[in-house]
């Protein structure tokens, strides 16, 4: 089974721009979670989508948004980029069919904001 | 609010020198405790899920254990290829706010010297 894939792997943007990141979950998985990883804050939860609905959201500003499509693929968008948004953005998928919700992570998208 | 604390922050071992990593947690009802391994520039790789106190799981040189307040990752006779950052995460079992959300510790950076 193919793992979680994320595109692009690397991005360089300037302040004020917006960016869209994509995530394809493991086949059959319907839940996709997004995380931001920085050296100072570690891994922090952004939001989770299941069957095209956002079920949970972390403590990030409204500039961070996401969506999920009917094939479970997900995108996250960051508008009006700030220098502090430079980070590794990770998505993870799980089957969410039972209480055993192990999340499997993709390789991440490294975003650098200049 | 969920809290996860890992210790030590960094650990240097000689090849073959066994040791343990600690993960202390505070959560309102534990749905699961997860261990991941992360290599530089990559996404976290799933190792173990533990659900209830007293549970143990093993994989090659690694063994994870769980109590009501902490988890240990025991590494027996480590090899240089075990060098990585080991992350502990918890999922709260309290309904909507727990969907897809893992709360991570800051990680333990393990270096195994030949």
A74-113 pLDDT per residue, tens: 999 999 999 999 999 999 999 876 555 799 999 999 999 9
**CA B78 to chain CA mean position, Å:** 16
Between A32-41, A91-100, B22-31, the lowest mean confidence (pLDDT) is in: A91-100
Quickly tell me which residue has 């949970």 as its tokens. A56
Find the CB nearest B43 among A44, A90, A94. A90
Check CB contact under 8 Å for B102 and A94: no
Going by pLDDT thresholds of 50, 70 and 90, the confidence category of residue B102 is very high
Give percent above pLDDT 90 in chain A. Answer: 89
Residues of A with CB under 8 A from a CB of B: 4, 31-33, 35, 42-45, 47-50, 55-56, 58, 90, 92, 94, 96, 99-108, 110
Q: What is the dihedral of CA B65, B36, A113, A65, to 10 degrees?
A: -80
pLDDT value at B47 more than 90: yes
Between A16-25, A73-82, A85-94, B96-105, the lowest mean confidence (pLDDT) is in: B96-105
Find the CB nearest B99 among A42, A56, A102. A56
Q: Which residue has the higher pLDDT, B55 or B92?
A: B55
Q: How many CB contacts within 8 angstroms connect chain A with chain B?
A: 74
Sign of the CA dihedral with B95 first, then A20, A4, and B38 last = negative
**Cβ-based contacts of A58 with chain B (< 8 Å):** 101
Say if residue B26 is preceded by a cis peptide, omega within 30 of 0.
no
* HSE-up (13 A, CA, CB side) for residue B65: 8
Going by pLDDT thresholds of 50, 70 and 90, the confidence category of residue B94 is low
CA B68-A46-B98 angle, to 5 degrees, is 35
Going by pLDDT thresholds of 50, 70 and 90, the confidence category of residue B109 is very high
């Amino acid at each position: 089974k193919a793992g979680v894939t994320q595109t692009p792997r690397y991005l360089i943007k300037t302040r004020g721009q917006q960016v869209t990141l994509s995530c394809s979950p493991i086949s059959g998985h319907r839940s996709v979670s997004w995380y931001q990883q920085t050296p100072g804050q570690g891994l922090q939860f952004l939001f989770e989508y299941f069957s095209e609905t956002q079920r949970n959201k972390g403590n990030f500003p409204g500039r961070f948004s996401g969506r999920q499509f009917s094939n479970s693929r997900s995108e996250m968008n960051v508008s009006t980029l700030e220098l502090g948004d430079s980070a590794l953005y990770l998505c993870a998928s799980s089957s969410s069919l039972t209480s055993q919700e192990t999340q499997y992570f993709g390789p991440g998208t490294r975003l650098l904001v200049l | 609010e969920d809290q996860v604390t890992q210790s030590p922050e960094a650990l240097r071992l000689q090849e073959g020198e066994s040791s343990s990593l600690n993960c202390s947690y505070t959560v309102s009802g534990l749905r699961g405790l997860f261990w991941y391994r992360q290599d530089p520039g990559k996404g976290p790789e799933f190792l173990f899920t533990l659900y209830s106190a007293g549970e143990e799981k093993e994989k090659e040189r690694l063994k994870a254990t769980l109590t009501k307040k902490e988890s240990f990752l025991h590494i027996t006779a480590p090899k240089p290829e075990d060098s990585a950052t080991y992350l502990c995460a918890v999922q709260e079992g309290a309904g909507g706010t727990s969907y897809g959300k893992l709360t991570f510790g800051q990680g333990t950076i393990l270096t195994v010297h030949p």
